[in-house]
Structure 1
Amino acid sequence: MTTQTSAPRQQRDTDAPRDDTADCPLIPVVGGDVRVPLVDGSETRYINLDYAASAPALEVVAAHITEVLPLYASVHRGAGYASQISTAVYENARVVVGDFVGARPKDTVIFTRNTTDSLNLLASVAPGETVVLDLEHHANLLPWLGAASGARVLRSAATLDETLTLLDAELTARPAALLAVTGASNVTGEVLPLRRLATLAHRRGTRIAVDGAQLVPHRRVDIAALGIDYLAFSGHKTYAPFGAGVLVGRSDWLDAGDPYLLGGGAVISVTLDATEWRVGPARHEAGSPNVIGVAALARALQELDTLDPVEWVAHENELRARLVSGLEALPGVSTYRIFPDLGDAVGVVSFSVAGLDSRLVAVVLSAEWGIGVRDGKFCAHPLLERLGVAGSALRASVGVGSRQADVDALLTALASILADGPSGEYELESGHWQVVNDTRPRPDWAPELAPAAGYYGCAG
């Protein structure tokens, strides 16, 4: 067991209000002003800089769900009034989603659990080989590598232009059914040129699928205008954390492929000798669907649709620029980028602090400053290796509920940690840093979590 501590220093006035008076979020989110305890016994407003993992619910989404719940019931097969209302809410959500992302008239909108589920569904019906880049989140890498139709991973070059040249040569030499790419990197926030990629793919007879998990919550996406064949994204990253995801795209592969789930609702008729399957969304949505999650996602998209697109991008660009410049001004702090010739990016920034374990920094930021960031490899192990990240890194991410004061709080905290180290005592147990004798109170409904019990998968 390793212990990390430094000499006590004068207590900060963490309970003093931060100057947020002229610094408002674009859209209010649930928990935007919630206060959390610190290890010194004080409390402060929670600074959520982990939007890229799971964004908070919009206040209007939470209010909408409160309205919907009294009339929640089974959908599609119920004659009761509540069932009729729930069915209308569920099916109308397809229209809302399709309109928001610019779906073509014949595109299919299928509701899933999340982006990972959507991409696994698409991988199960793809009729041929898929080409994928090495900079993807595992959700847009592992499904293709495990698909029966096969996949090839193309290693990206030092620049975007060189990578596109390599990709064009790869698809020319060995045609593929599908190109799967990220819309915006969950590690660096960089936005790939989707129109260029779609044109390149279509010129070689290849369709394009986009992992929109980090793009849709930050930008308007018009799949028809961009030439995107399939788009996947998640409600929990799009300010509707109620467990719904979406796959939108061309219907022919989806109607021809085997049903993703086998069960009620996906069939026209069943005998002991034969089954006749539906086409359309129902083919892949067997069982009772997540009506509440779908209703939440649709309401979130309706609210995002009210934003002026220019103002939306400007808000996030300002926060990102403030974050990047502030981080790069701190001694020993390095930020990461994939391509030097790619300028567009959403509010996701990864960085490392020389000489400090990123896991410890994240715990100190939470325990002593009330700031939530992400540490680890962000479910993008090959990309972290490409970027030369030893061990793990830190990631700060913002969204429509973020403020300049949130960014400034992180920069102030990091500067203090670099100058004085942590004020509390921490121990490394089973590979994870813990506060020694943590006395921070928890809500009555929140159970205790055993050390390291909540860490698995992509954290390492």
Structure 2
Amino acid sequence: MTAVLSRPVLSATVPGRHPLLPVVGGGEHVPLLPAGSAPYADLDVAASAPALAAVAEAVTAALPGYASVHRGAGWRSQRTTAAYEAARDTVAAFVGARDGDVAVFTRNTTDALALLAGCVPAGERVVVLDCEHHADLLPWQRRGPVTVLPTEATVAATLRALGAELVRSRPALVAVTGASNVTGEALPLDEVVLLAHAAGARVVVDGAQLVPHRAFSLAASGADWVAFSGHKLYAPFGSGALVGRRDWLDEGPAYLPGGGAVTEVSVAETRWAAAPHRHEGGTPNVLGAVALAAACEALAALPDGALEAHERALRARLVEGLSALPGVRLLRIWADSAGPTGVVSFTVDGADPGHLAAVLSAEHGIGVRDGRFCAHPLLARLGVPGGAVRASVGVATTLADVDRLVAGVAAYLREGPRVAYEVVAGRWQPAADPRPGAAASARAAGCGPAGR
């Protein structure tokens, strides 16, 4: 199957009508059941976004000169080192890093938050809400001490509870999502930062679902760190970043001990390098860093407000369409939240989320996510411990994609599935699926629930 690039046609009058940026694989047709084909509607961007065309081009351009970094005298090594460090500067600038901040390349957001967890001074408390993704919950639970604060019904009540907890326990760090991977909602970050700093605590933002979809600045927000993933930022080449204050990262134990993380080694002792190299032992993911920087550059080059307007239009159309369907419930964390990103999770009365997702895929060519989205405590709090369906948008999503999803759910409610389905290794699949590659897909379904 040949991947093609979708070409952007920017519209100043109708946000969401056309893709904002070209992506690899845009316009791909997929086979449908019981027959036919359709353009693939990717509404699973929150899990992993497609590669931007600019990202693929940057990686292709970097490959001929690829070599080791930091420790080679050859021309290719010097050029690759320069590209790697330039990528670091680009990524830091994209999230508004301050003078003195440091950018550490990681594998993804999970990796970045685990790295920071190892650098929090021993014995210091961390406060986190129970609505967080597991990546921003499990590292703090494992290291302890941690306070997992129950999420209240409103933003105002949650902020009051957070303020009271900060005064009571005087933690060193508050870990907070920049945008929920389930609903797109978030607490107002400026207020969280003010509360935390007033109590002497620092703030790390899980930016996995924020940074690809909204302008974010460490300097403007006052947050101390932000963690994010390349694969959600249209750079699926295995790189992410932790960007922010240097002091804990300079003093904490090396996250990945090895070559490049040290300045001197003897049998008796080791002298560790300062951050970022302290935490980037071994040969780094140079091409992943190049890809991440290219994605940052492409998004930063969009006209001011274009990305937010595009995604707001898509979300509004999606919410309006789904809300009009009988038996559909849209999930919300807070009744008074404002400005969510383009992530909408929902349930359908009497429908298994996995079954609905399988039907949307096989019969309509629509990719969505189903399950508990690595946010089990939040799904339980929202009253859907068995999971939901999630639709999420990005730069290549269009209003037509959203309309197809709404029409697909309406057809499911009206007619039910058109072919038979069965559960294979815990996942719904079309029974006796004749499409090429379907058997391999069914076998892979046993790999377990996916991430964000």
TM-score of the aligned structures, taking structure 1 as reference length: 0.92
- 102-111 or 422-431, which moves further after superposition? 422-431
Question: Secondary structure, in 3 states, of the residue corresponding to 1:233?
Answer: strand
| Equivalent in 135, 142, 151 of residue 139 of structure 1 | 135
Query: Which deviations, in whole Å up to 9, do the C-alpha atoms of 1:118-163 show, x marking residues without a partner?
Result: 000000011121000010000000000011x521101011111111
CA contact (8 A) 2:180 2:209 kept: yes
> Aligned partners of 2:68 and 2:190: how far apart in 1?
40
2-structure distance, mates of 1:178, 1:159: 23
Note closer, same or farther for the CA distance 1:431–1:343 as it changes in structure 2 (3 Å cut).
same
Note the 1:97-136 alignment, pairs <5 A.
Answer: 97-127=91-121, 128-136=124-132
Partner Cα distance (1:412, 1:452) in 2? 26
> Letter of the aligned partner of 1:330 in structure 2?
L
* 1:262-308, Cα deviation, whole Å (9 max, x unpaired): 11110111111111111120000001100011100000000000112
2:32·2:363 contact (CA, 8 Å) conserved in 1?
yes
Tell me how far 1:449 sits from its aligned partner: 5.0
Contact 1:376 1:393 in 2 (8 A): yes
Residues 14-56 of structure 1, C-alpha deviations (whole Å, 9 max, x = no match): xxxxxx9983111111111011111223111000000000000
Q: Distance in 1 between matches of 2:307 and 2:107?
A: 27
- 8 Å CA contact 1:235, 1:244 repeated in 2: yes
1:40 matched residue in structure 2 = 34
Structure 1 residue 438 corresponds to structure 2 residue 433: yes
Give the 3-state SS of the residue equivalent to 1:366 in structure 2. helix
Q: For 1:397-437, what per-residue CA distance to the aligned partner results, in whole angstroms no more than 9, with x for missing partners?
A: 00111100000010111111110000011112343212111
TM-score, with normalisation over the residues of structure 2? 0.94
* CA separation of 1:51 and 1:272: change in aligned 2, threshold 3 A: same
Q: 2:73 aligns with which of 74, 79, 101?
A: 79
Indicate the SS of the match to 2:231. Answer: coil
> 1:302 aligns to what SS in structure 2?
helix
Q: Could you say which residue in structure 2 is the equivalent of 1:91?
A: 85
Partner of 1:385: 380
1:455 matched to 2:448? The reply is yes
5 Å-filtered alignment, 1:46-61, equals 46-61=40-55
Cα pair 1:41 1:440 within 8 Å, conserved: no
SS in 1 for 2:88: helix
- Structure 1 unmatched runs, 5+: 1-19
* Counterpart-to-counterpart distance in 2, 1:419 and 1:317: 28
* Cα distance in 2 between the residues matched to 1:39 and 1:117: 39
- 8 Å Cα contact 1:175-1:205 kept in structure 2: yes
Measured in 2, the distance between the counterparts of 1:68 and 1:361 equals 42
- The number of residue pairs the alignment matches comes to 437
Aligned amino acid, residue 116 of structure 1? T
Q: What is the one-letter code of the residue matched to 2:447?
A: G
Map of 1:265 onto structure 2: 260
Deviates most, 25-34 or 174-183: 25-34
Letter in 1 for 2:261: A
Q: 1:146 is matched by which residue type in structure 2? A: R
Q: Distance in 1 between matches of 2:327 and 2:440?
A: 38
SS of corresponding position for 1:269? strand
Q: Deviations over 1:213-258 (max 9, x none)?
A: 0000001101111110010000000000000010001000000111
Cα offset for 1:448? 5.4
Relative to structure 1, is the Cα distance of residues 447 and 364 closer, same or farther in structure 2, using a 3 angstrom cutoff?
Answer: closer
Detail structure 1 runs of 4+ shifted over 6 Å in the superposition.
none
Larger displacement relative to structure 2 (429-438 or 409-418): 429-438
User: Could you say which residue in structure 1 is the equivalent of 2:24?
Assistant: 30
Partner of 1:172: 167
Match of 2:58 in 1: 64
CA distance in 1, matches of 2:441, 2:326: 37
Aligned to 1:240: 235
Q: How far off its partner does 1:457 sit?
A: 6.1
Match of 1:3?
Answer: none
Shift of the 154–424 alpha-carbon distance from structure 1 to 2, 3 Å rule, reads: same
Partner of 2:280: 285
Task: Say if 1:456 and 1:403 are closer, same or farther in 2 by CA, change over 3 A.
Answer: closer
SS at match of 1:75: coil
**What is the Cα deviation at residue 179 of structure 1?**
0.2
What's the CA shift string for 1:307-363, capped at 9, x where partnerless? 123222111100000000100101111101111111110000000011110000001
Q: 1:178 to 1:390 in 2, by over 3 A?
A: closer
Which of 312, 323, 333 is matched with 1:328 structurally?
Answer: 323
Residue 348 of structure 2 corresponds to residue 363 of structure 1? no
Contact 1:219 1:309 in 2 (8 A): no
